[in-house]
Amino acid sequence: MTNKVSKTEYEYIINFLSSHAPHTVDLFKKENTLFNSVKDVPIKEIDNTPIVLIDSCSFTYYRVTATFAWYKKNSKIPNLDDTEFMEALKTQYLSCLAKFVKISGVVINDMYLIRDCPRDTIWRIKHYSEYKKNRSIDSGYGPYIKYLNNEMSNKYKHIFRIEEAEADDVISILVDLFTIMYPNRPIYIVSGDSDYVQLLKYKNVKLYNPKKWQPIDCENPEEYLQNKIMSGDKSDNVPSIKNKECFKEILRNNMLINMEYIPRYIQDRVISALPEYLKTLVPANMRPKHIQLGLCCINTILRDKDIFCSRTMRLSTLMTKGVEEAKRLALQNCQDMITMIKWNAENGIRFFRLSSDIFPHISNPEAPKYTLDFSQHLLTEGGKLARQYKQRLTFHPGQFNVIPTPNENVFEKTCIELGIHAEILDRMGCDQDSIMVIHGGGLYGDKKTAIARFITNFYRLPENVQRRLVLENCEKSYSVEDCLEICEKINIPHVFDTHHYECYNLLHPNERLLPAAEYIPRILETWNRRGIKPKFHISTQCCGGRVGKHADYIDKIPDYLLNISQPVDIAVEAKDKEQAIYDLYKKYPQLDARV
């Protein structure tokens, strides 16, 4: 369903978005149509009231320290029982904010107050354990800050405090959302934190330091950001980049400093926390869905146009033409991956399994060696677009990757292959939801020993592989119970494949598994304790095919998945790819994520 706007407003918004947020123009055109009316709405009637976003930590800390400094001049030590001082705190807070009411024309009740999550829960600590370790809240100020937070809460209509998110995360997301939702309204950020300078790339944003209420200017916010990424941030304990060629250092500092790297799940939480009337203004392809359906590797529509990301070559061809030919194909694959991410965003597909063949023979021990450095610019762009379009990217490395193998040579090759997959996701800046799904592999005549070897070998895998690895049940060797045993011992999530579960029951009639629905709580727990969004696989048996072969479409989504109370993703494993997803959208219209 589309919104109707006047011709003048429509043209004004299109021009504004073209200048300030060009990636949103097509989306706005899809969701808005012109009034079929002779009378037009004058441009002066368009609301251009500023939106004010206050960094509570920055502003409140400044007011407490300023009041302390003023009070100490009286040679009197403040304390929580000093009524005069506590009233002075509130008065100073409100009188300071009143100055900005005059500047902005926005009353306090209409301002947005944004608070930090507890410091030890910040999402960035998952990526760099030393983040903000150099900071300690002054115990002399802490109780007064808490007092002010409590006393001032009733002054604001909108207060945000999002799990795992700092105030600048939330403000960055709100700036992006409000720029799309209210393209003609200026946005004022109140904070003394220089991290917000990067948001001045938006032409409608102004940053005000509450000390003197002067706007902070920056001629080139992008250059400022890049310099800060290279030099680090001592105030947050972010080190400088020693080696400009080291992608790991650059990625680390982008994660810690660059607001474009805020994870998708934080964006979802902010949108979910919006008042209901604002949620309706969020573009349809940005709104969180309780269940999201995902595409696996190939898009049939784009494949007909020669757009796909699995171009490869024979080893003999590589040896003849050289590694530059492999790189050429890889760059084509990366470019088409970006095209596919954009297509998904425009066509209601929320997550995407990437092909494992993006980089031909990169892990082949018999092929010439090459690194991923040559493709970094495209991997960076792909990751940025995935976050912007709120798409979850995953991998499903081939079944020749076997963790419980007794063959050391096979295990070493597995480590290399899985390491490449993890490195691609790392280089793209993907969050923890970007997982790598593998199967258990062989049993080697003794399932109990194979399971024990899987557990032992897991801890020999590279750290970034351990961080992203999840285990899927199969139809032949590893049942849901086997996978849960492994997952619960080594603390990795279990991807439950509904079709494999049914096939396993057919192929192992002597084993007694519980009904699938009874495993769901245990399965969800393996995801929740890692803070990763649960993912399931569905497919339908191909009529007349071998047991386990996928059909072109999906007959139905099991009720036990539809009834899960928390948000989940479901990978649709069907031969007709995106067409199978659209068929499910017809059967389950509540899942339709198309604009």
How many C-beta atoms lie closer than 10 Å to residue 43's C-beta? 13
Average pLDDT of the residues in 135-157 = 84
User: Same domain for 313 and 254?
Assistant: no
Give yes or no for a contact between 135 and 122, defined as CB atoms under 8 angstroms apart.
no
Dihedral sign for Cα 364, 367, 373, 374, please. Answer: negative
User: Same domain for 175 and 293?
Assistant: no
Asked whether residue 26 is assigned to any structural domain, the reply reads yes
The domain containing residue 150 runs over which residues?
51-266
Enumerate long-range contacts of 39-47, CB under 8 Å, 24 or more apart: 40/6, 40/7, 40/8, 41/6, 41/8, 41/9, 42/8, 43/8, 43/9, 43/12, 46/9, 46/12, 46/184, 47/182, 47/184, 47/185
Q: What is the DSSP string of 55-108?
A: EHHHHHHHHHHHHHHHHHTTT----TT-HHHHHHHHHHHHHHHHHHHHHH---G
pLDDT for res 7: 57
pLDDT for res 36: 36
Could you identify the residue written with the tokens 């080697």?
A: 444
Average pLDDT over the chain, rounded to whole? 90
Average pLDDT of the residues in 84-95 = 87
- In the predicted structure, residue 75 carries a pLDDT above the cut 90: no
> 162-175: per-residue pLDDT in tens?
999 999 999 999 99
Please report how the helices 376-388 and 264-273 are oriented relative to each other, as an axis angle in degrees rounded to 10: 20
Boundary residue ending a domain (211, 235, 266): 266
User: Same domain for 132 and 252?
Assistant: yes
User: Same domain for 431 and 483?
Assistant: yes
pLDDT for res 588: 96
Quote the number of domains for the chain. Answer: 3
> 151-163: per-residue pLDDT in tens?
999 999 999 999 9
User: Same domain for 222 and 304?
Assistant: no
User: Same domain for 543 and 439?
Assistant: yes
> 189-207: per-residue pLDDT in tens?
999 999 999 999 999 999 9
> 11-61: per-residue pLDDT in tens?
655 665 565 455 556 655 655 544 333 333 333 345 789 999 999 999 998
- In the predicted structure, residue 491 carries a pLDDT above the cut 50: yes
Share of the chain above pLDDT 90, in %: 73
Angle at 567 between CA 565 and CA 568, to 5 degrees: 110
pLDDT for res 54: 97
Asked whether residue 436 is assigned to any structural domain, the reply reads yes
pLDDT for res 30: 58
User: Same domain for 351 and 475?
Assistant: yes
pLDDT for res 69: 80
pLDDT for res 41: 38
Asked whether residue 282 is assigned to any structural domain, the reply reads no
Asked whether residue 273 is assigned to any structural domain, the reply reads no
User: Same domain for 39 and 71?
Assistant: no
User: Same domain for 65 and 24?
Assistant: no
> 246-290: per-residue pLDDT in tens?
888 999 999 999 999 999 899 999 999 999 989 988 888 788 889
Asked whether residue 275 is assigned to any structural domain, the reply reads no
pLDDT-wise least confident of 125-129, 330-334, 374-378, 445-449: 125-129
Q: Backbone phi, then psi, for 493, in 5-degree steps?
A: -75, 155
CA distance 443 to 276: 52
How many C-beta atoms lie closer than 10 Å to residue 193's C-beta? 18
Boundary residue ending a domain (11, 30, 45): 45
- In the predicted structure, residue 488 carries a pLDDT above the cut 70: yes
pLDDT for res 29: 64
Share of the chain above pLDDT 70, in %: 91
User: Same domain for 520 and 483?
Assistant: yes
- In the predicted structure, residue 234 carries a pLDDT above the cut 90: yes
- In the predicted structure, residue 87 carries a pLDDT above the cut 80: yes
Asked whether residue 123 is assigned to any structural domain, the reply reads yes
pLDDT for res 43: 38
User: Same domain for 40 and 56?
Assistant: no
Asked whether residue 280 is assigned to any structural domain, the reply reads no
Please report, for the domain that includes residue 587, its CATH number: 3.20.20.150
> 420-469: per-residue pLDDT in tens?
999 999 999 999 999 999 999 999 999 999 999 999 999 999 999 999 99
Band (pLDDT 50/70/90 cuts) for residue 211 is confident
pLDDT-wise least confident of 39-43, 306-310, 518-522: 39-43
> 401-427: per-residue pLDDT in tens?
999 999 999 999 999 999 999 999 999
User: Same domain for 319 and 192?
Assistant: no
Asked whether residue 146 is assigned to any structural domain, the reply reads yes
Boundary residue ending a domain (204, 235, 266): 266
Please report, for the domain that includes residue 93, its CATH number: 3.40.50.1010
Instruction: Tell me which amino acid residue 153 is.
Output: S
pLDDT for res 68: 82
**Exposure b/e, 483-503, CB count within 10 A at least 16 = b:** bbebbeeeebbbbbbbbbbbb
> 335-358: per-residue pLDDT in tens?
999 999 999 988 989 899 999 999
pLDDT-wise least confident of 98-107, 131-140, 250-259, 476-485: 131-140
Length of the chain: 595
